[in-house]
Amino acid sequence: MTTSYGIYKTGFGEVAIAADDKGVTALSFQAGKCPLAPAQDWVEQQTPILQRAAVELNEYLEGIRRDFQVPLNPAGTEFQRSVWAQLRQIPYGQTWNYAQLAEAIGNPRAVRAVARANGANPVAVMIPCHRVIGSDGSLTGYAGGLELKAKLLGLEGAAFISQPELL
Summarize pLDDT for 10-52 with one digit per residue, the tens.
989 999 999 999 999 999 998 877 777 877 788 889 999 999 9
Given 16, 126, 127, 129, which residue is catalytic?
Answer: 129
Is 129 among the catalytic positions?
A: yes
- The answer to whether the predicted template modeling score (pTM) of the entire model surpasses 0.85 is yes
Q: Which residues contact 62 (CB under 8 A, 6 or more apart)?
A: 11
Dump pLDDT digits (tens) for 72-84.
999 999 999 999 9
Say if residue 123's pLDDT is above 90: yes
At residue 127, the pLDDT reads: 98
Select from 129, 126, 152, 153 the least CA-distant residue to 141. Answer: 129
**Contact criterion met (CB below 8 Å) for 95 and 161:** no
Distance (Å) of CA 126 to CA 54, 80, 110, 117: 11, 15, 23, 15
At residue 164, the pLDDT reads: 55
